[in-house]
Amino acid sequence: MLNLPFMHFRIFTVLVAFLWTFTITAQMKDAFGELTQFERQFTSYEKDQAASAIVLYEKADNYFEVIHQRIWLIKEYHGKIKILTDQGYGEGTISIPIYKGENSSEKVEGVRAITHNGTLKTSLSPNGLYTKQISERFSELTFTFPNIKVGSILEYRYKLISPFIYNLSGWTFQSGIPKIYSEYNASIPANYRYNRNLSGYLKLAINESTVKKGCFVVEGFNEAADCEVLKYAMKDIPAFRDEEFMLAASNYNSRIDFELSEYHRLDGTTDKYTKSWEDVDREFRGDQNIGRQLTKKGYFEKNVPESLLMEGDALTRAKNIYEFVRKHYTWNGNYGIYRDIRVKEAFDEKIGNVGEINIALINLLNAAAIPTQLMLTSTRGNGLPKKSHPVMTDFNYIIARANIDGKVYWLDATDKHTPFGLLPYRSLNYYGRVMDFKNESFWEDLLIEDKNKYVVRAKITFDPEQQTAQVTFDEINIGYDAVARRQSFDEQPREQYLENVEGRISGVEIETYELLEERNSDRMVSERFGVTLENRYSDELIYFDPFIVRFFDNNPLESADRKVPVDFGYTRNFQYTAQIVVPDGFEPDQMPESREIILPENRGMLKFTSAISGNNLHINYNLILNRTHFTPDQYPELRDLFKKAVETENTTVLVFRKKQV
């Protein structure tokens, strides 16, 4: 008896969910040019009031077809977008990527686009289609809907015909705007075997797989192949928006990925596309772009000073070689790890891609008897590689892994400002695959430098006669903060650099500046600034903001909640100290309130104190992030920590009152 109400509730809940699904699905029309009453009357999206546009409906059908005695992969797309505000007009420009191989290319046919404004339909003119080249391999077909207004429904469809059977890559459900309904269909002949994987935190509303007998016929073969017929759909899909401090969207975006594993040809032979790491290791050894390029140490021995490879202990030789490569080459901005790696030509021309520069580094280190391997990695913007099986397109970067006296150093000589032992920020992506060509390759985590600090030390004195405050402050940047600072003042004129600093300190003019060379190193930059603050006095009181430099003007974590992890790349430590000389004849009116917040498991900390010592008032502020990665459930505590830190920096005011005689 006690369970009966609960059972009734469950039945009612399931019934409501079924009716909602049936109602929404029934309202979807696949006939081009026709709108449902639901679509016409839709004006706002309660689940995302900030949405400027929304996908009302989209559907993709993927299948294989024999055209002119060749098997082609076909994708037919049909979508409807409703414009909700002026900011949504940008959704009215559509781009369709087209891939070109060595001997063949994809093509787009049957493009149709209609702008619905009430009962008025405005069609896209055939002259409104444009094709532009994006890269050697990719072009784009683009068009913009005519007569777009707030309330317009933009409907379009097209057919993409591809000769590349491996381009059945899957479907991304989430985009920059929310979606009411998104459906992906695929009909795959049984002789094509694909791995598939669902990513992201959203669940499928429809997940169906059936077999259709004799669906695929190729002329000249008596037997027709069966097909696996797939249908995946999601409903009420939230927009995916890039957040501050986030790894690649591909790590978190809700999508389904397909990867061709095997192709059983109709003549009985089989092509395998998903390989083991043993297969990859064997192929890499003989690959002309990587394996063979790693055997050029003899060339480098002849073309660099002998002392570079012979003098000093192993660590000294490694640092000298790293510095030589970093200065010799200019990175051309390309990654280039699977093709067009020519280390000899790049060495002669003193310019190269990531592969050419770092493979040269590996060759030189090995020539100097420093055991060094190539490590395949992926940049922060490219996504994390899958560990389940080799997916070589997951990797887009190469670094060197040197073993010096039992300690591992990960090296990348493409960046002029990154010192020995640090990787550029773009490379801080957790792990990679070490290609040990003598033994087996293996996964290895990247352990990131944890001595990163941004320190400000200020001394403030007052001039009652001039009613000013004289401020001298040092900025010390350590670790990755030093790399960013050195890059900043190396890549712009000194005058422009100081103007940017003035912008960070509320526009106060910098009167003196000194780069403290005696304190600087490849991992530390120390600078000294002098400024004068005007009009800090009234008749009886001095009001003073002790934070000459603010680390944050606003909370960088603004979202109320977060579905993806926060990833800083490296640990952070912000320190601010100020020694304030209390002016003669004045005394502190009140001391700022101290504050201390410590996150669970010491993930982070905020501490603020003030104290009087003789005639000096001391301010100490410290914000520490001991972790680089915070999960979504840890986000509220992290956001609150930043909120309190920003409040401390922006609201702390010192008041000195004239002493009563």
Question: Per residue in 579-623, pLDDT tens?
Answer: 999 988 888 888 899 999 999 999 999 999 999 998 999 999 999
- Tell me the angle at which helices 494-504 and 480-490 cross, rounded to the nearest 10 degrees: 130
Within 13 Å and on the Cβ side, how many CA atoms surround 385? 26
Q: CB burial class (10 A; 0-12, 13-18, 19+) of residue 277? A: middle
Q: Is the pLDDT of residue 472 over 70?
A: yes
> 498-527: per-residue pLDDT in tens?
998 888 887 689 999 999 988 889 899 999
Give me the count of residues in the chain: 661
Tokens representing residue 361 in the block: 């580094």
**Beta strands 453-463 and 468-478: pairing type?**
antiparallel
Helix (H) or strand (E) holding 620: strand 616-625
Contacts of 306 (CB under 8 A, 6+ apart): none
> How buried is 524 (Cβ within 10 angstroms: 0-12 exposed, 13-18 middle, 19+ buried)?
buried
Q: With 80 as the cut, is the pLDDT of residue 167 above it?
A: no
- Tokens describing residue 179: 């979606």
Mean pLDDT of 31-43: 92
Residues 6+ apart with CB under 8 A from 568: 245, 625, 628, 629
Residue 446: Cβ-neighbour burial (10 angstroms; 0-12, 13-18, 19+): middle
Q: Quote the CA–CA distance of 338 and 355 in Å, as a whole number.
A: 8
For residue 66, the cross-strand partners are: 71
| Cβ(653)–Cβ(622) below 8 Å | no
Mean of pLDDT values over 354-381:
94
Give pLDDT, residue 343.
Answer: 83
pLDDT digit string, tens, across residues 631-652: 999 999 999 999 999 999 999 9
Q: Which two tokens stand for residue 318?
A: 């490694």
| d(C-alpha 129, C-alpha 121), whole Å | 18
Range in 89-98, 302-311, 503-512, 595-604 the model is least confident about: 503-512
**CA separation, residue 266 to residues 67, 146, 165, 189, 660 (Å):** 16, 47, 15, 11, 101
pLDDT for res 15: 35
Give per-residue pLDDT as tens, 536-573: 666 788 888 899 999 998 999 988 889 999 999 999 99
Q: What is the pTM of this model?
A: 0.85
Tell me, what amino acid is at 453?
A: K
Higher pLDDT among residues 525 and 5, named by residue: 525
Phi, psi dihedral angles at 378 (to 5 degrees): -130, 140
Q: H or E segment at 295?
A: none
Nearest CA to 293 among 382, 366, 393? 366
Please give the Cα distance from 644 to 504 (Å, whole number).
Answer: 20
